Structure formats: C-alpha cells, structure tokens
Amino acid sequence: MDVERLVAMANDIANFFDAEPDRKAAVEGVRFHISRFWEARMRRAIIAHVAAGGAGLSPTARDAVALLEPP
C-alpha cells in the first residue's frame, strides 16, 4: 500500500476527531474508525509506518495507530 496515501487518510480522520474537546476520546475515535473500516493490509502498513517513526502523521493519528491491534 502507498504509505503516503495512508498517512493522508489517517490525518483526514484525525482532523475530524480533533474537534472533540477530550483528546483521549479523539484518539479513541480515530483508532476505532481505522479498526472498523481499514482492511488488514492497510492497518499493517500504517502500524509498520508508526513503528518506523510515523513521519507525516498528526499527533492524534500517530497515537491512535499506536493503539491499533495488529491484524
């Protein structure tokens, strides 16, 4: 998968949940969304990207991906 595209998608999701005043809830919102809608190879790729430093990801997106369970 094109990681650059996945990073952009994750950041778009985080942009929505960042409106949530409670940051913990925002991070959980992103994590839940990705876990419900992203196919396994996409999740594997973004998890690997975070493991490699997570360049380009917003803080909320990065924290959310860090909470994802590996598929």
How many residues sit in the footprint of another protein (CB under 8 A)? 21
For residue 53, count other CB atoms closer than 10 A to its CB: 9
- In order of 41, 55, the CA distances from 35 in angstroms are 12, 20
Residue 12 amino acid letter: D
Q: Are 56 and 7 in contact (CB under 8 A)?
A: yes
Q: In this chain, which of 20, 28, 32, 48 binds another protein, going by CB under 8 A?
A: 20
| Interaction between residue 23 and another protein (CB under 8 A) | no
Could you tell me the smallest distance in angstroms from the CB atom of residue 38 to another protein?
A: 8
Residues that bind another protein (CB under 8 A): 1-2, 5, 9, 12-13, 15-16, 18-21, 33, 36-42, 71
